[in-house]
Structure 1
Amino acid sequence: MEQEAQAQVSQEFQKVLLSSVSTALPSLLDDEKLADNSTKTEIGHEDVLGLDTQAFDRWVPYLRSGVEKDQLGLITEELYNSVDDHFEGLEAQLLQDSQVSDKLRNSIGQISRVHNLIENSLVKDINHIQEQLNYSTNEVIMKKEVYVNDKKTSLKIFEANILITKVLQILELSNKCQELIIERDFFKALQNLDNLERIYLQEFKNYKFQFLKEIYNSIPYLKSSIKNECINSIRNSFNSNIGKNIGGVGEAYFNVYDEELFPTWLEKKDMMKLGNFKFNSPVEISLRDEELVEKLDLRNFFHLDEFHDSILIFRSLNELDYLTTEFKKEYEFRKAKIIDPLTWKKSQNSGGGTAFGDYANDSFAQSLNMGFLKQYLLKILGFLLYDIHLNRSTDFMLVNNNYNATNEVWDALIVRLEPYLDHFVKSLTMEEELNEFKNFMCIYVCILENQKLNIEALYKLLIWVFEKVCTINKDAFKAEFDILLHDDDFMPLAISDRALYEKMLKICWMKDDELAKSKANAVDNSDQFTITLPFSPLYPMTCTLLKKTYNKLIHFIGTYYRHELHTLNSILVRTMESIFSNVINEKIRAKLDSTSREEIAQILINLDYFIIAAKEFSNLMTKDNILQNPSIEIKLSSISSYVESRKYAEDQLIDLIDSKVTDILETVDLDWNAKELRQDPDISIVDVAQFLEMMFSSTLVNLPYSVQTLLIFREFDSLTRQFLDILLHSTPPRISQESVQNFEVDMKYLESIISRIFPTQGAELNANNNVQSPVPGTSPSVNGYGRSSNTIENNIKSLEATFTELKQCIELLKIENVGEYNDSEVRLRKYPRIKPEDAVLLMSKIDMPLSPEMQPSLEDINLTNSQDSNYRELSSNGRKIANFFNRN
């Protein structure tokens, strides 16, 4: 390969020489004036060589390459061979050309001189080059020695520079640590200390630099300073976050709920008709505006960068236990300051040597009022929110991964606070105060509940507040009902204002058919509106008061209370039961000791409506369904109390009427020895009849139908029995036939008032030309309103049957042939209701005495008693009918 390269170089050099010769040779041949002396020759050669310096420059690289490779002789040899090869054919041509031949001959000498010149010049150049090369080599060797020495020095300088740089870096790190500590950027300061320590141990551990050792020895002190400053920064963070402004944080957070979330929910609740859902329920929480929710982000209230830095620092130092220990010490101190004047330890005194629970000497209890309590609880709320945010932000590291830490703090606090809260609520006696406390505490409970804190103690307190409100409302109802009862006139309620009447129908509980009849009557008399309702003003006023009280209680728990609905419902039902039974019923029952028939009759009517009210009120509470359970049905037990009071009122009214009838009968003085016949009843009988007619047509007209029927049958049965007793036992041994006939006139007159008490169909229509009082469909008045004519006729027939025994006795006294009584067929047909002993007594009073043989024997009397047993049972017909019509 090397030879091929050399051959190639020679060929290329040959081409360069040939091209140079081809240009220079003609000028040499044409120069005939060339001188022969050496000077001229040299000059001529110089001129020849100087004719084409560019050609010579083209030789230089090849010549230098040959010199450097020490191949100049080889190149010369190759050049000669090349000339022979290139000029082989040219020679014959030149020989044939005389001119050229001449010129060649003349040029041979010149070529020889050129050759010598070239050879001398090349040797000289080579020698010169060799000298320069030697000089250069020596110079390079010297410079290399200098370079090596300089390089060693430079390396030492570089090493020294690196060392100085690292020393400066340590100094800068040390200085930077100081600055970062001053700037309170402790984590970066700790990182710089770690870098400083690492650099020193890696680079300068074996160096004896005293100042570096001092810097290194200061690292523990700086780390200790960082730890101390971190603890101080935590203390400062406590001062800024849970210092005097902690109450303001609690208040701001509370106001977001109270002034923004709650009013917004009320608007949405009305707009979306979400009546059964409460504030803070899952539905309400899901509908909250995101902008309002963002306001509740605890990061808006507390900044905990110091804690994050401290955790990073102490974790880097592997001293998290020390941090948590110091944190607990400081945090316990802060807790004690926040809950002051309460103490963490329950056994400790509240201050000033007072025993726990001695509220009279307890400064905290003495300072309790609504404003102080709100301020104190808001401060506690702010602290709880801070504790929650701190634990969550630090991943519960500071509390040893106790995820229930805040709840434990709250539970410990509420144990100490609960007795004071109970004491405070116990001192609240005004409904406005309780309502204010409820509104505040319910929002407070909602916040705690959303933060997953225990609300059991506070919710029990709220339930107690509801109980107190129920008690206050019950007492207020009792006081107002006393006034209503005292002012009631115990008269049917007459209304002449249509608007008031419409309002009354909405207020009062009545049966549907009764309402329809009332409205029909109101329409029929639209020109001159006047209507009378059966109950007295006490009933609608009480209904209004009941609804008002119930609505207040429902509203009190309707917005916030979400838990223990069964307890709330039990309290509500118990309160309304107490109002119905212990207030309304007992006070009305106490009024039944009155001696006024009108008053008792009106009370009885009112009781009938209060039974309806109790039933409808049960349906109302079932419909409201505060238990949110549609399968629960509420029924007030006071209904049975009203039924018992109604029964007692009936008995009282019956006793009064019986007493009055008895008093009137005591004034009756009939002449049993009269000799003159009367066409008109005795004046005392007229008094009795007028009393009964007036009582049943006016005083008792609005009583329920069954009660009226009971009283009518009872009184007429009692009346006929008393007259029968007068006839049997209060008459003289002998009575005249005229007195018997006069007595018959009296009894017929009494019997005639039955048709006036139960009017006929035509009389009823005439009576209805005037406005009648609307009465319940199940309890129409005796005058026939709402009853069929068949019912009235049956009642009249049943009532007339109470006079049967009395009329038979009168017929027996009028008998002309006393012996016919011994005829069993006649006796059973005409005198079935008369007892044999009474018949003997009556016949002994007439002017025709019985002969011994005509007197019935004892056996006949017994036989008669046996045969007539079924008929004698009819003597108690009045009582059976009365029991039939009496309501359960």
Structure 2
Amino acid sequence: MEQEVLLSQEFQKVLLASEPKKKSISSSISSTQDEHGKSNITNGVDFGTQDDAFELDPQSFDKWVPFLRNAVENDQLNAIIQELDTSIDDNFQGLELQLLQDSQINDKLESSVNEISNIQNTIDSSLSKGMAELQEQLSQTTNDLIVKKQIFVNNKKTSMKISEAIILITKVIRILSLSSKCQELIVEGNFFKALQNLDNLEKLYLQEFRNYNFQFLKEIYESIPYLKSVTKDECLNLIRNSLNSNLGKNLTTVGEKFITTYQSDLLIDWMEKKKSMNLESFKFNSPVEISMRDQTILQTLNLDNFFHIEEFYDSIMIFQSLNELDYLFTEFSKEYEFRKSKIIYPLLWKRTSNSKTNVIPGDISTDTFTKQMNMTFLKEYLWKILGFLLYDINLHKSTDFVLVDNNYNATNDFWDGLMSRLLPYIRHFIRTGLTTDKDWIEFKDFLCIYVAILENYKLNIEPLYSILILLFESYCDISIKAFDDEFEILLNDDDFMPLTINDKSLFEKVAQICWMKDDENIKPTIDNENTGEFMVTLPFSPLYPMTCTLTKKTYSKLSSFVTIFYRHQLHTLNKLMVKTIDRIFTDVVNKKIRSKLESTSREEIAQILINLDYFIIAAKSFSKFMTRDNLMQNPDIEIKLSSIKNYSESRKLAETKLINLIDSKVSDIMETVDLDWTSNTIRQDPDISIVDLAQFLEMMFASTLVNLPYSVQILLIFREFDSLTKRFLDILLHDTPDLITKISILNFEVDIKYLEGIIPKIFPNHDGSGNMDFVETSSNFPTPMTPMSPTFNHSSEKHSPELIENNVKSLEETFIELKQYIDLLKSDNLAEYMMDPEVRNRKYPRVKFDNANLLIHKIEKSQNLLDSANTDDQADDNSSVFTRDFIGNNSSSSKIAKFFNRR
């Protein structure tokens, strides 16, 4: 309907737009004719032969043709005619009246009616004929169309079946292709892709061919489990082949490569940086050293460069997709355990019931591993173990620890288990396999580098580090043994004489090597620049500087042993270091020097005492040095060697030994002293035995004791003079006969003054008043000449005259008691002492009354016997009675005194 309306509207516009060729009538009529002309055109009349005003333009009529054709084709011709009529009614209203009024037009209209009727008939017949032909053509066309449509439908069904067949064939071909591809991938070893293809093959069959009865496809489908099984088996074979290639001889190569790179590249590079950057306090493999490592060197140690484990990635993904990881773990664990056993052979990974059943528990000397063990074998074995540890770390880390069921400590577990078996063998090797210093250092460096690598890869270093501690402890033991051997030679070669040096450079070296007293200032005694002569005498013997050198050398050797690598348990190492130095000083030096105290040579004992005095200084100085240089680098640590106490005890023993030897010699000389207590002749010179005794004392202090420390010299001098005066007092009190003459007392005084006279000569240039000029002693008797004056070591430099004066006075006081006894016995008024206590306390405070009474009786008895020659018999009898009583009492007192004062 809409199409009709549109057609009508368009057609009316065309009608209204048409113009007649002639416009002889008025515009209104022209307009009407134009509209009427449209109607004529609509009726299909050709006005070209009309000679009137309504003749239409052929071009305008041509515009009607499309509309008319369209109306005919659509069977709407009646609608067009109706439309034309309507258009005439609408557009020519009022025109009829005008036309009727125009006669000419009326005439033409009348003549046109017939023509129009004819035209209509012609059109009707033409249209009927055309419609018949059209109907016939339409019927034919419809029949042709039906036939062709039937053919098309049949062809379409065939085409669909062909398409379905093509799709089915394509899917079959895909299954066959997948099956073939799976087999190819399995043969090529690309198992993960093979498994993916098998999954696709299975899915495709189940989705597309489950309901088809294709036998060959069913066989392909049924072969999928077998192919998966083959894939699993081949994966395991690939794993075995990978283990074969990675866990073969290349493990030793990898371990050696790491050790060599660390030792030859990283360590040397660090030592250079350490020296140039003043980093002495930092050790190898410390955080500072690690942060400064050359990355290009570390690149060469990338584990991916040594081990290829791609097979494990596919295998894990394959078994994971098959949901059979447990099976993979089980098979892998079996194979891996077998490989571990082969790697650690000849060490047994798991001891079986038939392996070495005859080996004594704890005895590994007959073990197969022990029989093969030497430096080369052990290094190669540990290279292999290191290579395996690195492989194990790389494998588990790269596979996210899937193969060990997320046990992140798997490598450490293996390492700890291996070390529990290996440690006894390494200890045995340390005890028996290392012989030279070179072997010890080589093995120590190897193990320290080994520990550094383990530490860098987060493996447990405690077991192997305990071996390093043991290694250092054993190295300390052999160092002590080496020190002992060399010290034994030095001790046997020592002359136990002060060290005299004639070479200035040698003296400077000795002064630098030896620990000296803080206030000691040793200078050459002769230094003639013109002649170039040089000489200096040091208090100690050659043993001391040689021992200092040997001790420093040993300490330096021990220190360098642990300085570069040892970073842990520093307190233990420090204790071992202190213990070693203490053992060197105590068990070797002190013990062997102490054994020399069995000597009977005073000179040797004196020199040992001097040496011990310096060894005490050495031990104290070494304690301070080790405190500053302690391995823990802790300034709060204070180290004090116990050898200081041991040296001090040996020094006291040496003093006692020297005193005993001197006492023994004095006793021997005293045995030769034979004083005449009944003499009536006054001597001007001392007794020859007294002279011998004085010469011995003077020579001893001038030679034997000259180099002793001043305090020791004073101690010995006081000790000897005190002992000497006590001996003579003992002789006076207990070894004198019952009768003593005053003349013998005077002679005894000469002897005692002679002995007292050697005191100032012990101290050179002493005048008895504090001045440093020598004067005659209080005795007027000559003193014996000696080869050299006794001197104290650097006494003139170190000790003031006041101190020397005090020492002289103190020595002279040792004779006071003896001199008081002599003065008492010389006195002409003995009764005054016996009767007057005030006189006793004032003149003779140190004289004991009982001893004085005994001696007075001896003097009086002698005096009475002398006077009896001029008296009568009665007086003689009375005197004899008194004498008998006195002698009886005196004899009893003498026996008691001798019992309690036996020498």
TM-score (norm 1): 0.83
Q: Tell me: CA distance 1:752–1:358, structure 2 relative to 1, closer, same or farther (3 Å).
A: closer
Higher mean displacement: 558-567 or 613-622: 558-567
Shift of 1:313: 1.0
Shift of 1:149: 1.8
Matched residue type, 1:15? K
Contact 1:818 1:850 in 2 (8 A): no
Question: Quick one: which of 74, 77, 99 aligns to 2:79?
Answer: 74
Question: Quick one: which of 472, 477, 488 aligns to 2:483?
Answer: 477
Task: Classify the secondary structure of the residue corresponding to 2:350.
Answer: coil
Find the aligned partners of 1:532 and 1:755 in 2 and give their Cα distance.
Answer: 25
Contact 1:349 1:355 in 2 (8 A): no
Question: Quick one: which of 435, 445, 462 aligns to 2:451?
Answer: 445
Task: Classify the secondary structure of the residue corresponding to 1:70.
Answer: coil
Question: Quick one: which of 491, 496, 505 aligns to 1:490?
Answer: 496
- 2:801 matched to 1:789? yes
Q: Tell me: CA distance 1:827–1:339, structure 2 relative to 1, closer, same or farther (3 Å).
A: closer
Higher mean displacement: 326-335 or 639-648: 326-335
Question: Quick one: which of 428, 431, 434 aligns to 2:437?
Answer: 431
Contact 2:525 2:535 in 1 (8 A): no
Find the aligned partners of 1:396 and 1:308 in 2 and give their Cα distance.
Answer: 12
Q: Tell me: CA distance 1:401–1:140, structure 2 relative to 1, closer, same or farther (3 Å).
A: same
Find the aligned partners of 2:231 and 2:830 in 1 and give their Cα distance.
Answer: 137
Give 5+ residue unaligned stretches, structure 1: 30-40, 768-778, 863-875, 877-888
Contact 1:784 1:792 in 2 (8 A): no
Find the aligned partners of 1:732 and 1:790 in 2 and give their Cα distance.
Answer: 43
- 2:848 matched to 1:843? no
- 2:418 matched to 1:405? no
- 2:254 matched to 1:249? yes
Contact 1:759 1:783 in 2 (8 A): no
Shift of 1:543: 1.5
Shift of 1:203: 1.0
- 2:23 matched to 1:11? no
Task: Classify the secondary structure of the residue corresponding to 1:491.
Answer: coil
Contact 1:595 1:656 in 2 (8 A): yes
| Alignment match, 1:32 | none
| Alignment match, 1:799 | 811
Higher mean displacement: 832-841 or 84-93: 84-93
Higher mean displacement: 435-444 or 554-563: 554-563
Find the aligned partners of 1:702 and 1:845 in 2 and give their Cα distance.
Answer: 50
Higher mean displacement: 815-824 or 89-98: 89-98
| Alignment match, 1:586 | 591
Question: Quick one: which of 539, 545, 551 aligns to 2:544?
Answer: 539
Question: Quick one: which of 381, 389, 392 aligns to 1:387?
Answer: 392
Q: Tell me: CA distance 1:212–1:359, structure 2 relative to 1, closer, same or farther (3 Å).
A: same
Shift of 1:477: 0.5
Among the aligned pairs, what percent are the same residue?
61
Alignment of 1:122-201 (within 5 A): 125-201=130-206
Higher mean displacement: 357-366 or 190-199: 357-366
How many residues matched?
832
Shift of 1:848: 6.2
Find the aligned partners of 1:90 and 1:522 in 2 and give their Cα distance.
Answer: 174
Shift of 1:471: 1.2
Q: Tell me: CA distance 1:223–1:265, structure 2 relative to 1, closer, same or farther (3 Å).
A: same
Shift of 1:455: 3.5
- 2:826 matched to 1:814? yes
TM-score (norm 2): 0.82
Contact 2:740 2:859 in 1 (8 A): no
Find the aligned partners of 1:45 and 1:500 in 2 and give their Cα distance.
Answer: 162
Question: Quick one: which of 836, 844, 847 aligns to 1:831?
Answer: 844
Task: Classify the secondary structure of the residue corresponding to 2:495.
Answer: coil
Find the aligned partners of 2:882 and 2:523 in 1 and give their Cα distance.
Answer: 68
Alignment of 1:493-508 (within 5 A): 493-508=499-514
| Alignment match, 1:657 | 662
Shift of 1:293: 4.6
Q: Tell me: CA distance 1:675–1:210, structure 2 relative to 1, closer, same or farther (3 Å).
A: same
Matched residue type, 1:822? M
Shift of 1:581: 1.2
Shift of 1:525: 10
Q: Tell me: CA distance 1:632–1:338, structure 2 relative to 1, closer, same or farther (3 Å).
A: same
Find the aligned partners of 2:772 and 2:116 in 1 and give their Cα distance.
Answer: 179
Shift of 1:213: 1.5
| Alignment match, 1:34 | none
Matched residue type, 1:840? I
Find the aligned partners of 2:71 and 2:692 in 1 and give their Cα distance.
Answer: 179
Find the aligned partners of 2:220 and 2:427 in 1 and give their Cα distance.
Answer: 64
Shift of 1:370: 0.8
Deviations 1:377-407 (A, max 9, x none): 1112222222232233333333333333333
Find the aligned partners of 1:89 and 1:508 in 2 and give their Cα distance.
Answer: 159
Q: Tell me: CA distance 1:359–1:765, structure 2 relative to 1, closer, same or farther (3 Å).
A: same
Shift of 1:57: 5.9
Matched residue type, 1:829? R
Deviations 1:772-826 (A, max 9, x none): xxxxxxx985945422333222222221111123322333343334444434233
Higher mean displacement: 805-814 or 108-117: 108-117
Contact 2:558 2:577 in 1 (8 A): yes
Q: Tell me: CA distance 1:386–1:111, structure 2 relative to 1, closer, same or farther (3 Å).
A: same
Find the aligned partners of 2:351 and 2:587 in 1 and give their Cα distance.
Answer: 42
Q: Tell me: CA distance 1:681–1:444, structure 2 relative to 1, closer, same or farther (3 Å).
A: same
Contact 2:448 2:565 in 1 (8 A): yes
Give 5+ residue unaligned stretches, structure 2: 25-32, 34-44, 51-55, 775-790, 868-877, 890-900
Contact 1:341 1:350 in 2 (8 A): no
Q: Tell me: CA distance 1:847–1:310, structure 2 relative to 1, closer, same or farther (3 Å).
A: same
Shift of 1:728: 4.9
| Alignment match, 1:312 | 317
Find the aligned partners of 1:276 and 1:766 in 2 and give their Cα distance.
Answer: 59
Deviations 1:386-436 (A, max 9, x none): 223223333333333333333333333333333332332221233322222
Contact 1:759 1:784 in 2 (8 A): no
| Alignment match, 1:325 | 330
- 2:203 matched to 1:230? no
Shift of 1:550: 1.7
Matched residue type, 1:601? A
Deviations 1:808-867 (A, max 9, x none): 2333343334444434233433333333234325524765659989999999xx9xxxxx
Task: Classify the secondary structure of the residue corresponding to 2:500.
Answer: strand
Structure with the bigger RCO (C-alpha within 8 Å, sep 6+) is 1
Shift of 1:668: 4.4
Q: Tell me: CA distance 1:783–1:745, structure 2 relative to 1, closer, same or farther (3 Å).
A: farther
| Alignment match, 1:571 | 576
Shift of 1:437: 1.7
Deviations 1:211-266 (A, max 9, x none): 21121122122111111111111111111111222221222233333333333443
Q: Tell me: CA distance 1:352–1:251, structure 2 relative to 1, closer, same or farther (3 Å).
A: farther
Shift of 1:114: 6.7
Shift of 1:682: 4.7
Q: Tell me: CA distance 1:352–1:667, structure 2 relative to 1, closer, same or farther (3 Å).
A: closer
Q: Tell me: CA distance 1:812–1:6, structure 2 relative to 1, closer, same or farther (3 Å).
A: same
Matched residue type, 1:590? S
Task: Classify the secondary structure of the residue corresponding to 1:395.
Answer: coil
Q: Tell me: CA distance 1:809–1:18, structure 2 relative to 1, closer, same or farther (3 Å).
A: closer
Deviations 1:474-519 (A, max 9, x none): 01101111111122222223345444444334322234333xx348
Task: Classify the secondary structure of the residue corresponding to 1:471.
Answer: helix
Alignment of 1:525-674 (within 5 A): 530-627=535-632, 630-668=635-673
Contact 2:680 2:743 in 1 (8 A): yes
Task: Classify the secondary structure of the residue corresponding to 1:406.
Answer: helix
